[in-house]
Amino acid sequence: MMQERDLQELAELVSDGAPILSLYLNVDPQRRSTEEHKLSLRRLLAQAADQGAAPADITRVERFFDHEYNRQGQGVACFSAQATDFWRGYTLLMPVEDFVFVGLRPYIKPLSDLWDDYDRFGVIMVDREGARVFIYHLGALEDSAGTLGSEVKRHKQGGWASQKLQRYEDQEAKHNLKDAAAWADDYLRKHKVTSVVLSGTEGNLAQFRELLPRSLQDNVVGQINLDMSASPAEVWEHAFQIAREAQRQAESELLEQVVTLAHKGGAGAIGLADILVALPAGRVHHLLVDTAFHAPGHQCANCQAVVVEDLAACPYCGGKLVATADAVNLAVHQAIDAGLKVSALDRSPLLTQVGGIAAVLRY
């Protein structure tokens, strides 16, 4: 599975002159047959040739699909610059839209979008005896663990002795939940999980929430009720939409705040031109990009600055400006290279209204 270091490597890659071929292919068996995705591949490679891709790069992609691709996953991303012996081919568990791009830097915006859409989240499954935790990233189970306390029984018979025993069992259950809460908090912090879905009965979860540290309580985005023996696939199926909707809501609210700040001259920026100025200055904290937003521009061959204006020379160093078909991709490169959070918003009317891109500024 593709890792964060792979995306970082692509974000940092710059060609000295040889073009880099970036190709994305949807191979979701629910959407198209093998023959259909082969036809789509041929169409994409023809477009790559028209864009100036090197024949060696086209041949390398063909060899990958003919002899190396394992027919798994729902999407494929390939990056080739055979002039410098560079090749990366990734099978993705999530679908991507067909796309091809030839330029001096890999086209990573679709990967950045996937990283946001299928960002890391955790599920804590709780009962009176312990907890199980699943961590998912990019549609796959990334890690899992569990903790088990003392056995707890429910006593149905009446009488004073039974009531006393039941109080003891309830105390044991609370102790188990308290230990599970502390363990889950430590486990999720170590794995840098900031979005959590809880699973369990209403009674158990109500008690468990009270025992959670405030930092973990703030990261809980919803709850479900599954059997403790549920498979990782079943847990994903029920929890993912809750986590995703919570993320979309948070990003929508953040965008509204950014637009308000930008209009008031505060720590917010809207529009590609302003953001391309703020990025190299180190002022951007969080980038928000429309998944469908593309715009041409120019990049300096010397200092790598990106501008959308048609200028005679780089406004920063006077270097030569080279045309690029998508300056938005280069903005995403700069953001990921700087370790910034990049959020992909799909069909946001407000983001479209302010130019397809916005940013939270540091100052």
In three state form, how does the secondary structure of the chain look? Answer: CCCHHHHHHHHHCCCCCCCEEEEEEECCCCCCCHHHHHHHHHHHHHHHHHCCCCHHHHHHHHHHHHHHCCCCCCEEEEEEEHHHCEEEEEEECCCCCCEEEEECCCCCHHHHHHHHHCCCEEEEEEECCEEEEEEEECCEEEEEEEEECCCCCCCCCCCHHHHHHHHHHHHHHHHHHHHHHHHHHHHHHHCCCCCEEEECCHHHHHHHHHHCCHHHHCCEEEEECCCCCCCHHHHHHHHHHHHHHHHHHHHHHHHHHHHHHHHCCCCEEECHHHHHHHCCCCCEEEEEEECCCCCCEEEECCCCCEECCCCCCCCCCCCCEEEECCHHHHHHHHHHHCCCEEEEECCCHHHHHCCCEEEEECC
Domain 4-107: CATH superfamily is eRF1 domain 1 (3.30.960.10)
Q: How far is the C-alpha of 242 from the C-alpha of 253, rounded, in Å?
A: 17
Task: Give the CATH class of 121-247.
Answer: alpha beta
Asked if domains 4-107 and 267-361 share a fold, the reply is no
Per-residue pLDDT of the chain (363 residues; tens, 9 = 90+): 788 899 999 999 998 888 999 999 999 999 889 999 999 999 999 999 999 999 999 999 999 999 999 888 999 999 999 999 999 999 999 999 999 999 999 999 999 999 999 999 999 999 988 899 999 999 999 999 998 865 544 545 554 445 555 454 567 778 889 999 999 999 999 999 999 999 999 999 999 999 999 999 999 999 999 999 999 999 999 999 999 999 999 999 999 999 999 999 999 999 999 999 999 999 999 999 999 999 999 999 899 999 999 999 999 999 999 999 999 999 999 999 999 999 999 989 999 999 999 999 999
Q: Where do the domains of the chain lie?
A: 4-107, 121-247, 267-361
User: pTM of the entire structure?
Assistant: 0.85
Give 267-361's CATH code, choosing from 1.25.40.20, 3.30.1330.30, 3.40.50.300, 2.60.120.680. Answer: 3.30.1330.30
